[in-house]
Structure 1
Amino acid sequence: MQQFTIEPKTTCKFCWQSDPEDHVCQIVRNCSTTSVGRRSFYKNVRCNWTNGYSWWKAMFLSVTLGGFGVDRFYLGLWKSAIGKLFSFGGLGIWTIVDIILIGVGYVGPADNSAYI
């Protein structure tokens, strides 16, 4: 059997782990790295990669008030929250599916930030 070795060409880091000379900034809120590779890592000055959405709060809201779309309103997904509200959680089916999706982390905040 052959064994394959994968060697990374760039190192993925959070913005607080990278050196200041690795970044080129034009505007205070829009910074990105200049590394070799296909990725660009965006950096805020305060390195705010989470906006305060809590996974356990989203899960609690999904279990208790998920039939009214409160979990989706909390995460900022207001369009689907309105649909969930007026369909009473898809008569319970959408609520159960959302509990699973939030539980595994598939549904997250609308601004693509990480949970705290």
Structure 2
Amino acid sequence: MFHSARFLSGLLILLPTIALCDGANQTHEIDCNNLRMGQYICPHPDYDFIDPKTQQPRGCTKENKAKVLCLVADGLVCTETKNNTFKKDIPCKWTNGYSFETSLLLSIFLGMFGADRFYLGYPALGLLKLSTLGFLFLGQFADVILIATQIVGPADGSHYVMPYYGAGINIVTSNNFTYRVPQCDC
């Protein structure tokens, strides 16, 4: 009885090794849309996916998604492409050409004339700031803070163009769906 248990445990250790050695040269065709993390690298290491003009992934849409080329692990082939690459949506920030540095400098130096608001696509506020000398400089000061913290952005809803690893800010908000549920002291 003792020897048979020892034999079975040795066989259980040896079986995965035999299976790995036996299937080393095989490839498996799978649906690459259902891969788990670690089974692919996204984006492909040889793929230059950053657009130097917008500093975002190439092909970023208004829905803040971009399709990039991904590479699957060795031994896997995608059914969609019949090779080891596939396209996957990744998050991005859609930009429409408005520079963060330009809008901040306009706000600091010409904000009392409304140049920052005209540049960002808010002509009514720009005209109001122009006619009141930036709300007696209080509006200019407020706009410098609002633009620097990226609370005020372009009027079309796009994000600022800034360096890829620049000072981007993600604003965290809370609402009725993200409140914290009290935990019991069990």
Q: Same fold (TM over 0.5)?
A: yes
TM-score in terms of structure 2 length: 0.39
Residue 115 of structure 2: aligned partner: 70
Q: Deviations over 1:2-48 (max 9, x none)?
A: xxxxxxxxxxx9432379xxxxxxxxxxxxxxxxxxxxxxxxxxx99
SS in 1 for 2:152: coil
CA distance in 2, matches of 1:60, 1:51: 18
SS in 2 for 1:115: strand
Residue 111 of structure 1: aligned partner: 156
Structure 2 unaligned residues grouped into runs of 5+: 1-62, 70-91, 162-186
SS in 2 for 1:97: helix
1:101 aligns with 2:134: no
Residue 67 of structure 2: aligned partner: 17
Shift of the alpha carbon at 1:49? Answer: 1.9
TM-score in terms of structure 1 length: 0.61
Q: State the Cα RMSD in Å.
A: 2.3
Q: Which has the higher helix share?
A: 1
CA distance in 1, matches of 2:107, 2:114: 8
Shift of the alpha carbon at 1:79? Answer: 0.9
SS in 2 for 1:90: helix
1:82 aligns with 2:127: yes
Provide closer, same or farther for how the CA distance between residues 56 and 16 of structure 1 changes in structure 2, counting only shifts above 3 A. Answer: same
Q: Which has the higher contact order (CA 8 A, sep 6+)?
A: 1
CA distance in 1, matches of 2:126, 2:159: 20
Q: Which has the higher strand share?
A: 2
> For residue 119 of structure 2, what is the amino acid of its counterpart?
Y
CA distance in 1, matches of 2:64, 2:105: 29
Aligned length: 77
Task: After the TM superposition, list the runs of 4 or more consecutive aligned residues in structure 1 that deviate by more than 6 angstroms.
Answer: none
SS in 1 for 2:102: helix
CA distance in 2, matches of 1:48, 1:106: 15
Shift of the alpha carbon at 1:89? Answer: 0.1
Q: Deviations over 1:41-89 (max 9, x none)?
A: xxxxxx9921100011000000000000000000001111111110100
CA distance in 1, matches of 2:68, 2:136: 48
Provide closer, same or farther for how the CA distance between residues 14 and 92 of structure 1 changes in structure 2, counting only shifts above 3 A. Answer: closer
SS in 2 for 1:100: helix
